[in-house]
């Protein structure tokens, strides 16, 4: 059925009481199941699993991927199949919406694990206890949820803000349940087939899975004398280097530096192909440009000049040059400068985000004092009591767990709340949450007050990111529920369930994947950043913290020059995007991201983006099979590539720990 909505004139002239009455009479479905035991349990499991894939991708790329539409399709297909088999009643549209709300909350709550918290560990060398991370993330996320309830009445009920991403999810849900044909089942099958083949491929390139199959199941080490498990190489250039052998003349170099030291490898990474498809050709091209400039042009020049060189490690052993050393010694500075300046320019170029966030529309008539939705909405007293209580609690645990002065954490909260309102308004208008640039405002502000303690800027900034993200994403999740007639209370409870799922699934996984103990059982931050998991977001946060703590005096002159040029280039690129109204599509933020990402991952993302771009150009006619697969089915295909590769990659890491 067609989704009902108010006209622009009604939005502009009606009071909130009139809008609430219209919604209650025409849209609200009070008798339809929403937050049921099965929708809550399904959302909890899907959210936990999909948040694990989000942690995997975030550690590789620094990008927090949304899992809302993936969970919608999976839940729809699961219960449609169970209903057809006679095992369960079909899912209602509101149950599905509640499931996606839980899963989305789980996917976003884990962002600090590959950004601010990981940066804190890198800077201080301290690894907090797992239970401390769980408590801090959940408490801070809950502040964002509590802060969202009053904002919901303003942005959704009164202003009827678009929330484009949330609206798109509502449209997809409506088309799945009320549209013609079997598009929902087709997308689910597409996701399942791609995910299945990707999982098989990932198993074939994983030493852990092959060890399990060949040694523990087939016992090839016992009766066939197999010493090492056979597996395909994900890095395809390994076949070339194996053939080239020790003939150094066949090893490509740039200005005398082996391209493998520069990280220039060719890897068939299925997850990165999917990420590239989702990010689009413009962003992927910007990342590719940053990686090319840094690793093909600048890094070889700086190695030749001696500004990047092998060093003696803390254990007295020579650390050879590799991609991570190149980034940490030199490239990080201009890459971070480009990301921060680009994000801030992009934010400041949208003054309406600031103006409209604090400006109320004048209603045409005096609002009715009665609250028609008081038994449906979350009572405001919960926020009025909960926000101060959990703000004090959040400041206290930040002080106890991370040694941040209690008063400093508390003083940062008013700034965080203001930035959260700005972030929410941005999400309402554009589906863009500028948490990165807003958190840097907190980071620099708190750093100016206390330069000696890196936690004093990293943790309040991490709170900014987490609170703003949860508030904005909860409202974006409530938007499809509002469109479909759902109960706001149920979605709010679902968001908390999702936060809990993400924390319970991903904090143990964080220790398992990135903080593997050595032979003596000791965990070290030295394993946090690797070729497989570059942690680019954490490196960005760490770079800003290092600048705050140490200044720029210890950097080589070439690094300072590169930062100045990068800042200027970022301003030029963002201004060009604004002046051309998006026709100039290169992004300064994405270009800087390409500097800190492994070049092999950037290349895989670029290839994925190019494939979907070309197939989209080829299959332009809506309704054709090619259009259904490559255009309308782009997100299910990418979700299949990401989930299949990520889940098998996580499984491979677990197997390697256990075997």
Of 264, 330, 327, whose CA–CA distance to 296 is shortest? 264
Say if CB 444 and CB 461 are below 8 A apart: no
State how far the Cα of 148 lies from the Cα of 161, in Å rounded to an integer.
14
Alpha-carbon dihedral sign for residues 193, 195, 197, 200? negative
Q: What are the two backbone dihedrals, phi and then psi, of residue 257, each rounded to the nearest 5 degrees?
A: -100, 125
State how far the Cα of 620 lies from the Cα of 65, in Å rounded to an integer.
26
pLDDT of residue 152: 83
Q: What token pair was written down for 410?
A: 């508390």
pLDDT of residue 113: 92
Mean pLDDT for each consecutive 10-residue tract of the chain (659 residues)?
Answer: 74 85 87 88 88 86 70 76 74 85 86 90 91 94 87 82 75 70 74 89 89 86 80 87 75 89 89 86 92 94 90 67 83 84 74 54 46 78 89 92 88 80 71 65 80 83 83 83 86 90 93 86 86 83 81 81 93 89 84 86 92 92 88 85 84 77
Alpha-carbon dihedral sign for residues 646, 265, 610, 537? positive
Exposure on the CB side of residue 217, measured as CA atoms within 13 A: 8
CA–CA–CA angle 409, 134, 46 (5° rounding): 130
Task: Report the relative pairing of strands 257-258 and 253-254 from DSSP bridges.
Answer: antiparallel
State how far the Cα of 392 lies from the Cα of 398, in Å rounded to an integer.
10
Q: Is residue 375 helix, strand or coil? A: coil
Residues comprising the chain, all counted: 659
Say if CB 284 and CB 278 are below 8 A apart: no
Tokens 């620099």 -> residue: 444
Say if CB 110 and CB 58 are below 8 A apart: yes
Q: Is residue 413 helix, strand or coil? A: helix
**Cβ count near 187 (within 10 Å):** 27
State how far the Cα of 195 lies from the Cα of 175, in Å rounded to an integer.
23
State how far the Cα of 223 lies from the Cα of 217, in Å rounded to an integer.
12
Of 121, 333, 274, whose CA–CA distance to 611 is shortest? 274
Q: What token pair was written down for 485?
A: 């007639």
Exposure on the CB side of residue 358, measured as CA atoms within 13 A: 8
For 89, which DSSP code? P
Q: Is residue 126 helix, strand or coil? A: coil
pLDDT of residue 426: 67
pLDDT of residue 359: 57
């Amino acid at each position: 059925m067609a989704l009902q909505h108010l006209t622009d004139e009604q939005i502009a002239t009606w009071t909130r009481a009139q809008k609430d009455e219209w919604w209650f009479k025409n849209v609200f479905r009070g008798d339809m199941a929403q937050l049921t035991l099965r929708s809550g349990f399904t959302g909890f499991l899907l959210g936990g699993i999909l948040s694990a894939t989000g942690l995997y991708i975030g550690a590789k790329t620094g990008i927090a991927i949304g899992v809302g539409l993936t969970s919608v399709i999976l839940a729809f297909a699961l219960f449609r199949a169970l209903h057809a088999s006679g095992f369960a009643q079909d899912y209602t549209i509101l149950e599905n919406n509640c499931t996606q709300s839980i899963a989305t909350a789980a996917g976003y709550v884990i962002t600090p694990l590959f950004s601010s918290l990981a940066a804190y560990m890198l800077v201080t060398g301290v690894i907090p206890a797992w239970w401390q991370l769980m408590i801090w993330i959940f408490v801070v996320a809950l502040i964002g949820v509590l802060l969202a309830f009053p904002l919901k009445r303003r942005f959704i009920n009164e202003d009827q803000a678009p929330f484009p991403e949330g609206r798109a999810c509502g449209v997809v849900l409506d088309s799945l349940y009320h549209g013609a044909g079997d598009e929902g089942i087709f997308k689910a099958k597409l996701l399942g087939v791609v995910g299945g083949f990707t999982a098989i491929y990932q198993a074939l390139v994983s030493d852990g899975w092959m060890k399990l199959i060949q040694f523990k199941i087939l016992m090839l080490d016992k009766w066939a004398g197999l010493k090492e498990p056979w597996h395909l190489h994900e890095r395809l250039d390994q076949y070339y280097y194996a053939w080239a052998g020790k003939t150094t003349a066949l090893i490509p170099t740039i200005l005398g530096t082996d391209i493998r030291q520069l990280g220039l490898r060719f890897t068939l990474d299925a997850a990165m192909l999917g990420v590239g498809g989702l990010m689009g050709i413009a962003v992927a091209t910007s990342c590719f440009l940053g990686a090319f400039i840094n690793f093909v042009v600048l890094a070889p020049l700086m190695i030749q000049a001696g500004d990047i060189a092998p060093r003696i490690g803390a254990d007295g052993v020579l650390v050879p040059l590799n991609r991570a050393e190149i980034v940490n010694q030199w490239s990080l500075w201009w890459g971070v400068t480009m990301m921060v300046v680009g994000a801030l320019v992009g934010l400041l170029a949208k003054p309406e985000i600031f103006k409209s966030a604090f400006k109320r529309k004048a209603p045409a008539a005096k609002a009715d004092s009665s609250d028609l939705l008081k038994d449906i909405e979350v009572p405001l007293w919960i926020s009025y009591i909960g926000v101060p209580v959990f703000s004090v609690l959040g400041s206290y645990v930040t002080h106890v767990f991370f040694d941040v002065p209690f008063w400093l954490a508390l003083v940062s909260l008013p700034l965080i709340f203001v930035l959260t309102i700005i972030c929410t308004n941005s999400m309402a208008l554009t589906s863009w949450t500028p948490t990165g640039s807003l958190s840097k405002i907190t980071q620099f502000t708190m750093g100016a007050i206390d330069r000696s303690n890196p936690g004093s800027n990293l943790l309040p900034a991490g709170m900014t990111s987490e609170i703003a993200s949860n508030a904005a994403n909860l409202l974006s999740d409530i938007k499809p529920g509002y469109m479909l007639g759902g109960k706001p209370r149920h979605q709010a409870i679902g968001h908390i369930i999702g936060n809990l799922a993400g924390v319970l699934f991903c904090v143990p996984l964080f220790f398992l994947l990135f903080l593997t103990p050595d032979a003596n059982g000791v965990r070290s931050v030295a394993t946090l950043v690797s070729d497989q998991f570059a942690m680019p977001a954490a490196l960005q946060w760490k770079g800003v913290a290092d600048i705050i703590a140490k200044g720029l005096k210890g950097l080589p002159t070439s690094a300072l020059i590169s930062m100045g040029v990068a800042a200027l280039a970022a301003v030029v690129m963002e201004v060009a995007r604004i002046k051309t109204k998006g026709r100039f599509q290169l992004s300064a933020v994405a270009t800087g991201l390409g500097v800190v990402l492994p070049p092999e991952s950037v290349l895989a993302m670029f290839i994925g983006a190019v494939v979907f771009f070309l197939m989209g150009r080829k299959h332009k006619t809506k309704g054709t099979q090619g259009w259904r697969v490559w255009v309308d089915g782009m997100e299910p295909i990418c979700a299949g590539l990401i989930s299949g590769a990520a889940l098998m990659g996580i499984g491979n890491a677990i197997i390697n720990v256990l075997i």
